[in-house]
Amino acid sequence: MIFDVLANAERYIGLHPGFATAFAFLRRPDLAELPVGTYELDGKRVFAMVATEAGRPRQGAQLEAHEKYIDIQLVLAGLDEMGWRSLLDCRLPAGPYDATDDIRFFADPPAAWIATHPGAFAIFFPEDGHMPLISEGQIRKVVVKIAVAEG
C-alpha cells in the first residue's frame, strides 16, 4: 500500500507500466468536473471510475481485495477514512473470490486507518486488504484500476 498526495505521483510511475497512464488521467485539469461514470484509458488494462457516494460507518463494513487489478484511489471531495490490512494477516474470508467482479471480502478488522483528504491517494496492490468509503459525509473520488498482468 502507498499513501501520498497527487503532487508526488511522479515517483511511482516506474512501479508498473500502467501507472503513467493512470496518473496522467488523475492530473487532468478537468478531473473534478467529470461526470460520474467509467472511463476507458487503455482498454481493460487501465480504466477509471468517477463516483460520488455516501460514506458508510466502520461498523459492518468489510475489507476487500482484488487479484487482477491494482487500485489507485484519489479523493476529490470529502474525507475517506480508508481501512487497510495486509492480506497475509486476513484470516476471516466473508465469502469466495468473485472472479467476475475481481473481489473478495474479509471480516477481519483493519490494522490501520488512513484519513484520505482531497488531493491524497492510496494505491492498493493485490496483497492489500482495504476498506474504502468510510465517512460521515459524501465522498467524491476516482478509482483507477490497473491490470496486474500486461496483455
Q: What is the pLDDT tens value at each position of the chain, 151 positions in all?
A: 999 999 999 999 999 999 999 999 999 999 999 999 999 999 999 999 999 999 999 999 999 999 999 999 999 999 999 999 999 999 999 999 999 999 999 999 999 999 999 999 999 999 999 999 999 999 999 999 999 997 6
- Assess if CATH 1.10.390.10 describes domain 2-147: no
Please state whether the predicted TM-score (pTM) of the whole model is above 0.85: yes
What are the residue ranges spanned by the domains of the chain? 2-147
pLDDT score, position 150 = 72
Which grid cell sits at 73? 484511489
Distance CA 37, CA 142 (A): 10
pLDDT score, position 151 = 60
pLDDT score, position 55 = 97
Q: Cα–Cα–Cα angle for 58, 125, 117, nearest 5°?
A: 50
Which grid cell sits at 28? 487532468
Residues 6+ apart with CB under 8 A from 63: 83, 85, 90, 105, 106, 107, 108, 110, 129, 130, 131
